[in-house]
Amino acid sequence: MTDLSRNTLWTYSNPGSSPLNFINGVKMLPDGNFLMTIGLGIPFNTPIPEGTINEIREVNLAGNTVREISINDLNSELAAASCAECHVTLGTFHHDVKPLPNGHWLVLADTAMVLSGTSSPPLTNAPATTVFGDVIVDLDQNMQPAGAWNEFNHLDPDRHPMGLPDWTHTNAVVYSKG
């Protein structure tokens, strides 16, 4: 962070290997802490390389981790969650995380499905294809999933503006007070 004269006021060092761990979606929280996504930054179609950090992290001004959740921990929580849309396996966190006024976090992650003309949802006029779509997970203050929104349950994969396999390539989460 810099002031208007471009003097550095605060930095946060990449906690791992720069080619593997991008810091995205950094947001300042009301208490002065920072919330960020650390990971590959894009949907990934091969095993995630060793040493990759794949988490949502809150850090204080000293750069100390206040709380964090890894993709593996969130996948475990989603498997045990009661909401129907929570039953999804996530691959990577990417691009954005949005703190909400109620203290929850909306986190953006990807999931993959093999789609074909006979799958649900169907993908017509294409051979069976692994398709990456995005999921928004609502995490409460205790890092428990309060809900999820999975693109595969709401959007038509035959409409693929980014092409396949990176179907929608969501970059941001925007909250609009209803």
- Hey, where are the domains in the chain? 22-153
Q: Comparing C-alpha atoms, which of 78, 35, 83, 88 is closest to residue 59?
A: 35
pLDDT digits (tens, 9 = 90+) for 7-56: 998 888 888 777 778 888 899 999 999 999 998 766 665 677 777 889 99
The answer, yes or no, to whether residue 137 has pLDDT greater than 90, is yes
List, in sequence order, every beta strand (DSSP E) within 13-163.
22-28, 34-39, 55-59, 65-70, 93-99, 105-115, 129-139, 145-150
The pLDDT of residue 43? 60
Q: Is the pLDDT of residue 72 over 80?
A: yes
**pLDDT for position 85:** 86
